[in-house]
Amino acid sequence: MKICKTVKEVRNTLQNSRSKGQSIGFVPTMGALHQGHLKLVEASKENCDLTVTSIFVNPTQFNNADDLSNYPKTIDEDSEKLMTTGCDILFLPDVKEMYLSKPQLRIGFDGIAEQLEGSFRPGHFDGVGLVVSKLFNIIQPDQAFFGQKDLQQFFIVKALVDHLNYSIQLRMVPTVRESNGLAMSSRNMRLSEKERKEAGLIYKALGIGQKSLLNSSDIQAVKKEVKELFDTSERLGLEYFEIISTDDFKPTESLFNKEKIALCIAVNIGQVRLIDNLMLIS
């Protein structure tokens, strides 16, 4: 696996691959890699000739300075994991390489970005849009791979690709879960063993909500049922549970197009905030 730390180096390396007609798959990450990330790399390996993974903790998408400073950094372990998956190139820039000066360009999103995570984390998706756009321009992949756990982020990136006419095929890879159903996340590293076990309630709640919706279609009753589950928990605090359409990520009162309905949730446990989702028809 070749490690590139500068834009010039990774571009030169990829130009050589393009001249050979190789297709390029791209997996953007912020490091602290887990099995979910590795599944993305494996999916890229299956679909593309060459796989590039980036590790960059992007400061512009954090609206909480403590969240940024506490984000786990495990570069050595991450590199070893990527090598075991057969990743071809690791792009590992620092902040000065990605942002030569304070960013003067802003990529703003209306609609989807104002819902759910956007309303609880103002400016988050603007930062995501900026860094993903920069990475897409640097790597110029044929395909890019994202996990379903960050469902709203996937549709934000889709809007970016559609509106800026990127010639990139986006691929969403199903969420990888721990044995109790907890979605794998870099933030899980900050959970105690007891907290990690109890956080299995998140997936349980999603499953109960999914089953209830399919049986009764009573959205308000399902929301109440899920809220009551968390009311009985001493450690887990429900921030939101919404049933939305992936067309706009607004709460919906209709299940007419079931294939586009998703159950989305955010929960606080201790100092850690976790998100998850299930499609109604999975």
Catalogue the active-site residues: 37
CB contact at 8 A, 1 and 87: yes
Q: Which of 223, 220, 210 is nearest to 278 (CA)?
A: 210
Residue type, 184: M
Ramachandran sector of residue 191 (left: φ over 0; alpha: ψ -120 to 50; beta: rest): beta
Residue 114, by phi and psi: left (phi above 0), alpha (psi -120 to 50) or beta?
A: alpha
| Axis-axis angle for helices 151-163, 124-139 (nearest 10) | 60
Reduce the DSSP state of residue 186 to 3 states and report it.
helix
- Identify the CA nearest to 98 among candidates 127, 68, 71, 75: 127
32 backbone φψ class: left, alpha, beta (φ>0; ψ -120 to 50): left
Q: What φ, ψ does residue 48 adopt, rounded to 5°?
A: -135, 160
Three-state secondary structure call for residue 140: coil
